């Protein structure tokens, strides 16, 4: 479910993503409730297939990767094999910038902060896990700026796909956390 970005930024100003999102023109926030404690949600985030949880999304990401290479948007960008959730490692094509795992979390929030940059965009993505009674809320926050008219047009075209894959990731995280 989409959430108002201003509400998220106001409610969780201490998050790693909040400091970055405040300076960027595009902020997109999705949230889901998960009937599992934050530690189990975090375990679901550790899955290497969460970024593209279904075959259809994997095919669309492969198509996007091919177009990006042909158009020269993604010079130097590569998909990495599964790596532990630690700063300087990679989460698919995202660089891991920040980790507040269960052992390090302050204020009860868990957070995985990621970044990516290419010729069209500079983006920060964060998964934030909040305890909600006996359940959890899982947020996906994307904050970005798009370069030039091509970048802004790119966002208009991919926005529905971005929203769809984000919802699919949150649904998959929910399924994985609730079945453990």
Instruction: Give the predicted TM-score (pTM) of the model.
Output: 0.90
Q: How many CB atoms lie within 10 A of CB 125?
A: 21
Tell me the CATH class for 2-179: alpha beta
Q: Which residues of the chain have pLDDT under 70?
A: 76, 104-107, 180
* Cβ atoms < 10 Å from Cβ of 23: 9
Q: What residues are paired with 137 via a beta bridge? A: 33, 130
- Per-residue model confidence as pLDDT tens digits over 81-105: 888 999 999 988 899 999 998 876 6
Q: Tokens standing for 10?
A: 């106001």
Concatenate the DSSP letters of all residues of 113-177 into one string: EEEEE-SSEEEEEEEEEEEETTEEEEEEEEEEEE-HHHHHHHHHHHHHHHHHHHHHHHHHHHHHH
- What's residue 68's pLDDT? 79
């Amino acid at each position: 479910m989409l959430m108002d970005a201003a509400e998220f930024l106001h409610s969780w100003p201490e998050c790693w993503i909040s400091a970055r999102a405040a300076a960027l023109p595009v902020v997109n926030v999705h949230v889901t409730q998960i009937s599992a404690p934050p530690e189990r949600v975090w375990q679901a985030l550790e899955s290497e297939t969460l970024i593209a949880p279904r075959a259809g999304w994997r095919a669309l990401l492969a198509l996007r990767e091919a177009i990006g290479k042909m158009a020269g948007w993604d010079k130097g960008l590569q998909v990495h094999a599964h790596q532990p959730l630690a700063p300087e490692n990679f989460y698919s094509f995202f660089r891991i910038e920040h980790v507040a795992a269960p052992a390090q979390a302050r204020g009860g929030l868990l957070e995985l902060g990621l970044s990516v940059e290419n010729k069209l965009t500079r983006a920060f993505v964060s998964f934030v896990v909040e305890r909600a009674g006996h359940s959890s809320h899982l947020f996906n926050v994307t904050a970005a700026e798009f370069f030039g008219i091509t970048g802004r047009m790119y966002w208009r075209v991919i926005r529905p796909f971005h929203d769809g894959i984000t919802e699919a990731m949150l649904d998959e995280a929910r399924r994985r956390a609730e079945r453990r």
